[in-house]
Amino acid sequence: MNRQHGPERPYDIVLFGATGFVGTLTAEYLAAHAPEGCRWAVAGRSAARLERLRERLTAINPACAGLPLVVADAADPDSLRALAESTRVVATTVGPYVWYGEPLVAACAEAGTDYADLTGEPEFVDTVFLRHDARARETGARLVHACGFDSVPHDLGAYFTVQQLPEDVPLRVDGFVRAGGIFSGGTFASAITAMGRQRQTVRVARERKLHEPRLVGRRARSQLGAPRFSSETGAWALPLPTLDPRIVARSAAGLKRYGPDFQYRHYASVKTLPMALGGPAALGALAALAQLPPARKWLMDRYEPGRGPSAEQRERSWFRIRFVGEGGGRRVFTEVSGGDPGYGETAKMLAESVLGLALDELPDTAGQVTTAVAMGDALLGRLRAAGITFRVADVR
């Protein structure tokens, strides 16, 4: 059964991991913004916690008094299969995804159910491609990763920048990220897990490269630029080896609008030289500790998953990504900006992504696809309407 054929399913959207920190924020956003007639449900391991969440959501929207609750466990494949078969779209906040994510992807790929997550873990994304992309293409399931701050503003920001540049010419886009915020225990656990699995990450990336179809007559790539002072932003630019540039390059591979030869470079934007020197050193030390199991456990014990910054702390958080795009004799400066990147805006991005997958007229895609390829203009419009800024700052 796929999304175009077969009997009607009870739900349009099921949010799995709804009682976790980001899951609760996403549920609250859906309670406030899901349109009338959208059939959605919340899912998790504990019926009691789901019932308490429903009470909280009912205070936001009285219509949630009858919100369906679905008990499912990442360790119980039968429950995940039933969940996937009950809905058109699944959103999941249950990470680290490399530990807990694959059984749900497998269930969605088999059931022809669209899937969206918040992963920033390259190993998980590449593993999903190798094991489940082919089946998802057969059933019509769209597998859309990184639907939060990783990597929506970077992916759609590059997409928006490309739209301001000439067609059918080589293009280069550089992204410069600045943000202020506090991470949660779940985010910290995912980051430390990824840092501690560098060998596995490299191995699965190489395997993906062997199996991924090669572009014919076009080129799309992301590269790590060298650290430098950026005259475009008036700040130090440090290369960021995150999932984001890989997502941007995959969007470029999937969309001819990015031109015959596309290159993307991804940087952290740092105002002062001491921060530019100290940041990589601190990150390197953390990555080194993450290689040692006892140190990794000690680090993860410092932050308990399921907890995160307060509403007041999130209110003070922000992000700003500046893009510089060049091609065909034109140079454009664009900006994507918003509030709390890790939680408030991430919940908004995930919720708007799954609402779009469930309700919007979208390109006919299947398999592992990026937000730009799967949703493009529709998601860009949704996010702008939801208060995230995409703007052209200058054209030269």
Same domain for 259 and 195?
yes
- At residue 4, the pLDDT reads 44
Domain that holds residue 72: 11-148+346-379
Q: Is residue 70 part of a domain?
A: yes
**Which pLDDT score is estimated for 197?**
80
Tens of pLDDT along 307-359? 666 777 777 788 999 999 999 999 999 999 999 887 899 999 999 999 999 99
Q: Do residue 24 and residue 163 come from a single domain?
A: no
Decide if 6 is inside a domain. no
Q: How many domains does the chain have?
A: 2
- Regarding whether 354 and 256 lie in a shared domain, the answer is no
Contact 31, 56 (CB under 8 A): no
Same domain, 123 and 197: no
Domain annotation covers residue 2: no
Residue 69 falls inside a structural domain = yes
Q: How many alpha carbons fall within 13 Å on the CB side of residue 20?
A: 24
The confidence band for 1, taking pLDDT boundaries of 50, 70 and 90, is very low
Residues 309 and 358 in one domain: no
pLDDT of residue 199: 87
- Statement to judge: residues 163 and 232 lie in one domain: yes
Residue 5, domain member (yes or no): no
Q: Look at 92 and 95; give whichever has higher pLDDT.
A: 92
Does 3 map to a domain? no
Token pair in block for residue 64: 């949630």
> Distance between CA atoms of 238 and 269, rounded to whole angstroms?
7
Average pLDDT, the chain: 89
Predicted pLDDT of residue 111: 98
Which CATH number characterizes residue 59's domain? 3.40.50.720
Residue 185 and residue 168: Cα distance in Å, rounded? 45
In a domain, 40, yes or no: yes
Regarding whether 227 and 82 lie in a shared domain, the answer is no
Q: DSSP of 145-186, one letter per residue?
A: ---BTTBHHHHHHHHHHHHTS-SSS-EEEEEEEEEE----HH
Which CATH number covers residue 241? 3.30.360
Confidence of residue 20 (pLDDT cuts 50, 70, 90): very high
Same domain for 266 and 330?
A: yes
Are 231 and 103 members of one domain? no
Question: What pLDDT, on the 0 to 100 scale, is given for residue 288?
Answer: 47
User: Does residue 178 form part of some domain?
Assistant: yes
Same domain, yes or no: 269 and 221: yes
- Are 196 and 235 members of one domain? yes
169 and 278 belong to one structural domain: yes
Helix (H) / strand (E) containing 100:
helix 97-100
Of the chain, the percentage scoring pLDDT greater than 70 comes to 85
Structure token pair of residue 147: 């639907």
Q: Count H helices and E strands in the chain, helices first.
A: 16, 15
